Structure 1
């Protein structure tokens, strides 16, 4: 049902006054008669009165209201866990029969006036027509994402229930039994809870960062069912070749642990595999292999964290930086301490230096002479005149004693390092921090990482800035209140993951860019999953280390099996870089080259695409998790042979359709049809007067 209404801001009784004005103007024009018959004079007077009345009516600020009512049927979502474990541990005939019966269930529910939607782990926001023929290829089971995606997508469409078809194996994301989804969950249990005769490589433990010239352990943990008294051969492989092998006796404890000692002679990324040789009678060998991806480095990056005075920021930043084992942090608090310049620094974090009291001026001079990349943190004690002279990427020509309380907003187009998908929401929840009020000027080569939000207004003012130019890269954080961000995130989520990653990535970006290469090509992440798209960005600099654009970059990718592929992409400001799509697991090395000023410049590096076969680790279904989901929703746990009972229970709930009213208001001045009415009245009057001999 729809209705169309016209309302006014002022009292509708004023319409009588508009009508009186229209009649008055019409009477004044046509009171003396004219060369028209009486009927025409009355018609012309009516047209003129209507025109003037409608024009005066606009003074009442009229607006239209379009009211639309629609009936929304109850929606039931049939959510299928199409992970690899479901197909692995469910007999194929039984699985296909269940999918066919589920599609039939959907058809019968639709016949009863219920809107049915189908969802899987991998179909994103798109809809699918039927579940029969679904491929079970999802490499992880994130039941929370499946349930939240189903409930969020249809929460405004009269969502009545979500029917979850799963084996209960959950190996990624929050545990669904502790989450709220705003609707009833009806679990249908797939898979088999009877353990199979199998040897499972449950876990491989290792240090992700190791140092050259040392040895480090790679520890494999086994679990087995039905093979007590047997022995199994476990190998440690590198690049497909066995480098160590051990025989392990399987006991009644059903668990075993094997440790390999590995040396690290040269730096770089390493890819090891622990492989358990299959035994006769094993249910599957998919869970007999796990990967270990680690990095061997020459030494840690030496980072100076210096402050002109004690401040809570120092504790927060230090706590963030020491979460990365590659960073060695030296903390110096003036005026009581001084940096140890006997060793060179890879990067420096300078808190309110340059300082209005002069503390740290000598430190800053020595760091600038050594071209040490620096992150400047500004605050109430900053000497802005001295800071502006540093040309660090942002400047405040006129300092002020006033402050804005601003919240950070992540710039999603900044791609020099990647952030977790949860970063945007977490960062916007950080509390406001003080920033000196003024018109901040941004250097042409500077890039904004965080913007300022004042209250509810998102601005284009910078809050965290990065400048890659010579003589050394720099970054600027415009507030000394970031310690509140770390405390808030840790209190809300139990960990300050996003704050810590932001600070460590920022320092690593500065430290790794200390060398003044003319070409810098880098992956947006050091490690990718096999399901992620691999992407690269590039920087090209002129002789004075100013970034330039427009070059064509040649790129060669080498897999660990020495297979090579060639690519080309154009370096554009704000461009997408090079997107390679998904790649098989392994350690990849790349070489890139371009020509600048008639010279060829090159860059190279490596990255990892990792795969962990999580789906085959659990050899039995977890119906207990599904039972807990049913208890929280006050429903029941069903099995594939109980779909008829599930249908009866759903229909017994007697889900109701709802009526939703949608109102749309629009100013009459913005609607073209009203002006067409005015034009029609004026043109009709004018045409009649002209046709009958007088204007």
Structure 2
């Protein structure tokens, strides 16, 4: 069997796979060259084997989006702290991120615009004067608080949360996952692990949060879960902000490794957090994208669009026009409807085929364009699982009061049918009635008998 992967009709990978049995299954890892950014469409196909009956499922189409180079992240700190190494290791576990750790005193030699995210670890009041350009800019910031932080400077620098305290006293707080968090998703395993972690040290005081669904972890003091945020994310004047109100991440790292032998929860937490914070670092002002790249036949095709102003704020004031094209067929153009702060076009159900689309809009004096492609493929659930699922067949038979038989048991079929009380020979009775007067010959016969009777009675003088 030959496996072939093509892009735009050009083969990019191929290999021979020997088939050793009828129920053959093999998982392959294939590396392809990401030579350019954007969405790549790959067709994966395998040649039919001898006597193969169903070949419709030998081809599959996938889309892969290639992003820009690694996201560059800057971690600034005033002095040494064990949490800095933990943060560096957790972030660099994701190959898409490149982290540079530097003291605030050396910030003058750095070009802050080169970084997609800046993490401020317990910066002192003087540091905010040096970082005035950063605090006033649009670069996402992640604030990490602790015993060396200055709460008044922190409250002044951002509007996501506010901490009111007479003096900077610290207390132990545990992480309690917040069910209403919607910004990104962590696995249940990671949430459970972090909820069992040792406590962090957070400033003692009164906390308020300006976001409703942006709190990922709340503070649990002893056995009491408070509304105070421990880790929260949100948008502040057009840029994304993160705040961790406690220190002691090194405790989490040691505890996880002791209990599970790895740092998966810490790595996932930082990877997802950084991904959320840097999502708009190099955001396109206008983008249009389908709800998914591959639609099933009979499924409504949805195309979404987003437009951002100069402050990277989501707007939907101007109209957006989307043209949907299919080869050899006339182009159709429609205006997208406003959906919240974004746009959406419901193109309805489309025939099977390869489609391209082009979206355009105008904001002020600038025209924006975006394009892409999507596929509508035939919906045939049977060919997606060519091997018989005996357990499924057995369950279906049982639910219907029947029984599944193998070919070797076919001789029992007639006897099972005879013994099944639910199987009876159907008998149908159809009754149909007609008025006798509608039958002409009977009507004529009755009239004749009446006429003879009248004649005989007349002759005998009885009438």
What TM-score range do you get, normalising by the shorter chain? 0.5 to 0.7
Determine helix, strand or coil for the equivalent of 1:507: helix
Larger RCO, structure (CA 8 Å, separation 6 or more): 1
Determine helix, strand or coil for the equivalent of 2:40: strand
TM-score by length of 1: 0.42
Shift of 1:379: 0.8
**Match among 73, 77, 85 for residue 303 of structure 1:** 73
Query: Which has the larger displacement, 251-260 or 337-346?
Result: 251-260
Determine helix, strand or coil for the equivalent of 2:237: coil
Deviations 1:568-612 (A, max 9, x none): 565549x9999999999999988778898x899868587999x9x
Provide the residue aligned with 1:51 in structure 2: none
**Match among 397, 407, 423 for residue 175 of structure 2:** 407
**Match among 368, 376, 380 for residue 135 of structure 2:** 368
Provide the residue aligned with 1:315 in structure 2: 85
Q: CA RMSD in A?
A: 5.6
Tell me if the contact between 1:469 and 1:545 (Cα under 8 Å) persists in the aligned partners. Answer: no
CA distance in 2, matches of 1:534, 1:490: 46
CA distance in 1, matches of 2:324, 2:209: 39
Provide the residue aligned with 1:236 in structure 2: 5
Gaps of 5+ in 1: 1-231, 624-638, 643-695
CA distance in 2, matches of 1:537, 1:432: 42
Provide the residue aligned with 1:460 in structure 2: 227
Tell me if the contact between 2:12 and 2:32 (Cα under 8 Å) persists in the aligned partners. Answer: no
- Mapping of residues 315-334 of structure 1, within 5 Å: 315-333=85-103
Determine helix, strand or coil for the equivalent of 1:332: strand
Distance 1:418 1:538, change over 3 A: farther
- Are 1:267 and 2:37 an aligned pair? yes
Gaps of 5+ in 2: 392-403, 410-463
CA distance in 1, matches of 2:352, 2:257: 34
Determine helix, strand or coil for the equivalent of 2:278: helix
**Match among 113, 118, 138 for residue 348 of structure 1:** 118
Tell me if the contact between 2:159 and 2:236 (Cα under 8 Å) persists in the aligned partners. Answer: no
- Mapping of residues 202-241 of structure 1, within 5 Å: 232-238=1-7, 241=9
Tell me if the contact between 2:13 and 2:32 (Cα under 8 Å) persists in the aligned partners. Answer: no
**Match among 437, 449, 454 for residue 215 of structure 2:** 449
CA distance in 2, matches of 1:502, 1:260: 28
Query: Which has the larger displacement, 265-274 or 424-433?
Result: 424-433
CA distance in 1, matches of 2:335, 2:20: 54
CA distance in 2, matches of 1:347, 1:370: 12
Tell me if the contact between 1:535 and 1:580 (Cα under 8 Å) persists in the aligned partners. Answer: yes
Tell me if the contact between 1:406 and 1:453 (Cα under 8 Å) persists in the aligned partners. Answer: yes
TM-score by length of 2: 0.60
CA distance in 1, matches of 2:308, 2:173: 37
CA distance in 1, matches of 2:274, 2:198: 23
Shift of 1:291: 6.1
Determine helix, strand or coil for the equivalent of 2:268: helix
Shift of 1:278: 0.9
Distance 1:600 1:338, change over 3 A: closer
Determine helix, strand or coil for the equivalent of 1:473: strand
Tell me if the contact between 2:40 and 2:66 (Cα under 8 Å) persists in the aligned partners. Answer: yes
CA distance in 2, matches of 1:286, 1:515: 41
Distance 1:275 1:296, change over 3 A: same
